[in-house]
Chains A and B, each alone.
Chain A
Amino acid sequence: MNLQLPPLGPIMPEIFMTSLALILLMADLFIKKKEVLAGASILGVLVVAYTLIGSSGSTFGGMFISDGYSSFFKAIFFINLILSVLISIKYIRIERVNFGEYYSLIALSTLGMMIMASAADLIVLYLGLELMALSTYILAGFIRYDIKSNEAALKYFLLGAFSSAFLLYGISLIYGLTGTTSIKAIASFISEKGLVGNPALSLSMTLFVVAFGFKIAAVPFHMWAPDAYEGAPTSITAFMSVGPKAAGFAVLGRVFMIAFASIKFEWTFLLIPLSILSMAIGNIVALAQSNIKRMLAYSSIAHAGYALIGVIAANTDGVASMMNYLMIYAFMNIGAFAVVIMLRTEGFKGENITDYEGLAKTHPFLSALMLIFMFSLTGIPPTAGFIGKLYVFMSAINAGYTWLVLVAVVFSVISAYFYLRIVMYMYMREPKIEVGTSKSGTLGVALGVTAVMVLAIGVYPKCLVELARAALSGF
């Protein structure tokens, strides 16, 4: 038996990430100041990001692949991690959950996402997905003494387990049908054996839609999202509204565009109602929210709907626009959550939309930032959100889905009502209560970076767009 070690180059970032998570866990025992761990995790991720540059190719018998596509998503995950950690440091002290394992769990969850993005085999995909999900369940329930946080974790956990059972059933079906779990091999088996139209194949594909739809919080598999987002610690809400969603899209893109390439017609047929429903429910129900975290949760459902349009276009342009969208979404959404966190002070939640009344008067600078993020989430030029939407819509129009884009534009207009409501509260209302802010350097850095990126991408989108296109070469 030949026990040769497979080449480790492509998987180097994951190995480093694992070490980082374990080191953080160990260091937690010795280090009293948890802020050091936060710093260490950011530095560690930068190292991991550095190893990413050299890694490309596939390993473990083709089960694991590192290519432009996965690297782009990993970049999103790293940005997500760094920004989330930056906004966490002060916040988890206020919530009195300043424990070291917080950071190592975030690292582990990110590791799961990285494995998902790189998975070229359904087994690896499943492992990455579970690693990500299990870590996130714990993080969602991290405020142990808070019933809302417990409830968020429970709901997320139960429904998440439910959805991964569907995923597994889908995997087992496709395994039985094709005798393999490799994404590429499945694709060639389907086209060679002429399995198109086989009901078992369609059934299995549908189960994949269910499981991935759950991860990206698409309607009707979104029900967990509002509750989990509201109950989870705000920093984790930011983290899980971007990371798992992007990871979900990463596997969605890879599995559907490659493994199920020959039944494109069938899965676009399923994704279209998902996308429309997500935009509809997300944007409409968000109108009726009074808690800003919950409102942003519905907004995140709606944004999943927009990004899905890119996948529905089902060509490289579409996938590239979806990747752009997620990158942009990472910045604007974490930025918005950073503002929400800013309002959380000792003894004051600051989660009600009415808490934003007259904020421009007391905190003009913070309000201006919130204005930028809200404009971007609405999709008003020259912010990044506009660019994201524009490219997704253009790709869909080029793929012949003009009517779908019209629907999306209508829902975009509806979304302006609740985003701009915040802006209006800030600028055109009198402050009713004294609202304090918890200032901290790291939070300031996160706010600055996100705001600058949102504007920079809005004004000069070329770099990002070309990066996404280049990432897809050889996809």
Chain B
Amino acid sequence: MVLSTAVFTIGVFGFLSRKNIIIIFMSIELMLNAVNINLISLSHYLQDLRGQILAFFVIAVAAAEAAIGLAIVIALFRNKATAHVDEIHEMKG
């Protein structure tokens, strides 16, 4: 649990501080994996399969998410050659 909390927090801070979109993606993965650690250890502790099932789903969804995220980044990169989030602010206010 401590490990997962630590990893989750690292993920959150990574998300908030890094400028490169790819690294932000990795931070999200970090957060999701923290949840997975949590789920699997709890599953073991409770002797209950649900946690592991959910962990598998999380992994699958994370894969889909990464695919979509990368697709969006590529589409964006074509129109505006940047991978830095703070340069993307066409819309505000």
Give me the interface of A with B, judged by CB distance under 8 Å: 122-123, 126-127, 130, 134, 137-138, 141, 144-148, 150-155, 157-158, 161-162, 165, 168-169, 171-173, 175-176, 179-181, 226-227, 230-231, 288-289, 294
A134 touches B68 (CB 8 A): yes
B80 touches A147 (CB 8 A): yes
Tell me which residues from 17 to 52 in chain B have a Cβ below 8 Å from any Cβ of chain A.
Answer: 21, 24, 28, 31-32, 34-35, 38-39, 42, 45-46, 48, 50-51
- The docked-state distance in angstroms from the alpha carbon of A18 to that of B65 is 20
Residues of B within 8 A of A134 (CB): 61, 64-65, 68
* Nearest-neighbor residue (CB-CB) of B46 within chain A: A179
A299 to chain B, nearest CB (A): 15
Q: Does B10 contact A (CB under 8 A)?
A: no
A157 touches B39 (CB 8 A): no
A87 to chain B, nearest CB (A): 22
- The docked-state distance in angstroms from the alpha carbon of A150 to that of B35 is 29
* Nearest-neighbor residue (CB-CB) of B91 within chain A: A227
Given A147-B90, A175-B50, residue A165 in contact with residue B72 (CB < 8 A): no
B81 to chain A, nearest CB (A): 11
Question: A126: which of B54, B69, B79, B91 is its contact (CB, 8 Å)?
Answer: B54
Given A157-B68, A162-B28, A175-B51, residue A169 in contact with residue B8 (CB < 8 A): yes
B62 to chain A, nearest CB (A): 9
Question: A172: which of B42, B61, B85, B93 is its contact (CB, 8 Å)?
Answer: B42
What's the dominant secondary structure at chain B's contact region? helix
A207 to chain B, nearest CB (A): 11
- The docked-state distance in angstroms from the alpha carbon of A371 to that of B81 is 43
Question: What would be 16 A-B contacts, judged by CB atoms less than 8 Å apart?
Answer: A126-B57, A134-B64, A134-B65, A134-B68, A144-B78, A145-B79, A155-B88, A158-B15, A165-B28, A168-B35, A176-B42, A179-B48, A181-B50, A226-B91, A226-B93, A294-B93
- The docked-state distance in angstroms from the alpha carbon of A288 to that of B79 is 29
A349 to chain B, nearest CB (A): 13
- The docked-state distance in angstroms from the alpha carbon of A9 to that of B53 is 24
- The docked-state distance in angstroms from the alpha carbon of A475 to that of B77 is 48
Given A161-B28, A162-B28, A176-B38, residue A141 in contact with residue B54 (CB < 8 A): no
Known: A122-B54, A154-B76. 9 other contacts (CB 8 A): A123-B54, A126-B58, A144-B78, A147-B79, A158-B28, A162-B28, A172-B38, A172-B39, A227-B92
